[in-house]
Amino acid sequence: MKRLIVNADDFGWSEGVNRGIVEAYRNGIVTSTTVLANGTAFDGAVQLARQERRLGVGVHLNLSDGAPLLPRWEVPSLVNEQGHFSGGPMKLVARMLAGKLRSAEVEAEWDAQIRKVEKAGIQPTHLDGHKHVHMLPALFPIALRVARRHEIPAVRVSIEHFLGWNGTLRRNRRSTLAILTQHARARALNWMATDARTEVERAGLACPEFFCGLTQTGFLDANELETILWNLPEGTSELMCHPGYRDAGLAASSTRLQMHRERELEGLKDVRLRKVIAAAGIELIHYGRIIERE
């Protein structure tokens, strides 16, 4: 049996992103999303989640963008002089190697992010990380601990199962460097996270057997999605995506995914995909059903 979670990251980033994610759920193949507790459009995301009770909602653990939920003086190793998170995973790695990142502060901040989501009335289906920060070897055990503490049953394991990425290169020749860079990052993440699924199992938590979509981020149109669906392996897989609309909030932010999100949104709504899903015998689920027996 083939089961597929289609998870839209960055719920709460902006109202346009929120609107795109819900549209991809209502009119497309998205089944799940993860919310940024410190996102500028968090309240709007919560309101939409309450309207769409069948949409699985997890927590998008963040150390890379925006301001922490805890006061800056409680998490000084996580922030810059302006009191904002000090950058993406590579900067975090550099801070860890220099002994400047305190794991207790990471755990406290992630606890606060989860508590905010729970306080809003959402019982998270799973945890994942903004820019896959939760997969860094020193931080992954923290993600597992906070998941257990909050009785969250599942965690994303971002070990990419490469499905059709050669076709992505052929169809996007002008973006060869960008795709190869993303592919190299995925390979590096796979190398760092070799034992992650074993760690999840030891913690008594669940995760999909396969993960995909990292290499195709920004290029995930209907053709890419169709290729992935036809090549989906037996078992439970997660496909990561980033649908949304480019509004003023998104345009003003640092993310490179701007118009790319609208491209993904249109792809996720393409009517061909439902036909492929039926023909390939794929069951769409969200993380809340991952522990069900196949």
d(CA 266, CA 9) in angstroms, rounded, equals 16
Strand partners, 32: 7, 56
Supply 156's token pair: 């994303």
DSSP state of 160: B
- Please tell me whether residue 9 adopts helix, strand or coil conformation: strand
pLDDT value of residue 294? 41
Q: Which tokens hold the place of 261?
A: 């999100």
- Stretches where the chain sits below pLDDT 70 are 163-167, 169-170, 172-175, 179, 247-259, 291-294
DSSP single-letter state for residue 283: E
Question: Do the beta carbons of residue 8 and residue 35 sit within 8 Å?
Answer: no
**Number of residues written out for the chain:** 294
pLDDT on residue 249: 63
Residue 186 has phi, psi (to 5 degrees) of -65, -40
Distances 77 to 14, 81, 98, 104 between C-alpha atoms, Å: 27, 11, 11, 10
pLDDT of residue 105: 96
Closest to 66 (Cα-Cα) out of 123, 142, 133, 122:
133
Give the pLDDT confidence score for residue 259 in this predicted structure.
Answer: 64
Which candidate, 180, 114, 126, 122, places its Cα nearest to that of 158? Answer: 126
Which structural domains are found in the chain, ordered by start? 2-289 (3.20.20.370)
